[in-house]
Amino acid sequence: MSRLIVISNRVPMPEKNGTAPAGGLAVALQAALEERGGVWMGWSGKSSGTKEPEPLALTERGNITYALTDLTKTDVEEYYHGFANRVLWPICHYRLDLAEYARKEMAGYFRVNRFFAHRLAPLLKPDDIIWVHDYHLIPLAAELRQMGVKNRIGFFLHIPWPPADVLFAMPVHEEIMRGLTHYDLVGFQTDHDLENFRGCLVREGFGNAIGEGLYLSHGRTFKGGFYSIGIETAAFAEFARKAAASVMVRKARQSLEGRDLIIGVDRLDYSKGITQRIDAYESFVSRNPAHQGKVSYLQITPKSRSEVPEYEAMQRTVAEQAGRVNGALGTVDWVPIRYINRSIGRPVLAGLYRLAKVGLVTPLRDGMNLVAKEFVAAQDPEDPGVLVLSRFAGAARELKGALLVNPYDIEGTANAIARALTMGREERIQRWQGMMTHLLEHDVKRWCDDFLADLTAEAENPAPATSDGQG
């Protein structure tokens, strides 16, 4: 079996006892690396300032070599804070108004990808399978090919892929598209993302679709597929069951004093629709006096990318909005919104999901959104809560038992909250069972196995993505 080489912007280092850090993706990739042996390479998260970074820091853990590199201060600013997060992230989330293009940042993005390629190449063996992750590293295959690397290389995009009219507004869209054609397999979260990619490829003449899941570009044949990422469903369900008895979850239950809990958990990001969600909750409470004082909305929003001005401004906006709603609607013994601006450990989070009557997952655009899947997995089978889910999250393509909403429709979302809170137990169980069955079958290990099976298959015999969202 060939070794597996994983490259991602950041590398979740295992604990000293060898266990993977919290998070299904880290668990799945570490398991695949353990099985095949291999290397996980990426940025250390540290800056070497104005000095050239030291050689790769290599750490052996069992079958896996973790290879970390620092970046210079200029590289971090231009590659990470600049092009990746001020251009690619907003454009892939359909936010042209927030994309700030600067030529030097674009140059920094390609320069760092070249730097990664030069650091990776000496570690490679001829039959290694290479798996590149996410928007930070789109040009990496092209850089490796330029150096003569002939290994099979796959790419998976964890965020949405936009339609042609959105992508083509980016001045360097041709270089980005060309970068993707150097992979042997390009994977997306949903069929919609794959359709958008195909549209970009064909419309601009970068290549042609020559068969189901097969594309031709500049003489190279490569595969495209969609592989909806899952969570470690069974393990997370067990987490939630055990967490129900934890001290923090017991305290949360007591503090609710019999009120129904509505929960939202999001990284602080403009793509998550948090301000629209608070507006919808305010509309629900205002128009349903019978629920006033009988519900509590907990919004957990850890800080994110506070070095980027848009995120710092958003942090203030959300805090002010929650404060305004509490001031307008709250009473001496009732705070309508509890807003927490820090991370909470996954075991406690699992217990809070299980406690909640409603999960509000309403991003304006999201590649998948694993919070939606975690909320479903955490529920009590005998008395499950209801998932209110944005139709613009990738998870909406799979979780058919959710109440789908348009997050831009404030009143429509408010109505869905009201419906979720009053839904009968029988309907809740029926909706939950269908979603849970799907998540148990399509967990993160299945996602990992499906992608690697397609990547390692011979190019002449591609395995196209199937209609159920898996490769």
- The token pair at 124 is 């490679």
Round to whole Å and give the CA distance between 164 and 94: 11
Q: Angle 148-451-368 (CA atoms, 0-180°, nearest 5)?
A: 115
- Strand-pairing partners, residue 3, are none
From 193, 266, 366, 443, active-site residue = 366
Helices (H) and strands (E) in the chain, counts: 17, 16
Q: Angle 91-222-167 (CA atoms, 0-180°, nearest 5)?
A: 15
Q: Angle 224-84-310 (CA atoms, 0-180°, nearest 5)?
A: 130
- Whether residue 135 contacts residue 157, with contact meaning beta carbons closer than 8 Å, is answered with yes
The CA-atom distances, in angstroms, between 174 and each of 19, 142, 355 are 41, 13, 48
| Widest distance between CA atoms in the chain | 70
Beta-strand runs (E) in 319-456? 337-340, 358-361, 386-390, 403-405
To the query of whether residue 366 is one of the catalytic residues in this protein, the response is yes
Round to whole Å and give the CA distance between 307 and 311: 8
From 158, 182, 438, 442, active-site residue = 158
To the query of whether residue 468 is one of the catalytic residues in this protein, the response is no
Residues 6+ apart with CB under 8 A from 287: 414
Please identify every residue annotated as catalytic. 158, 366
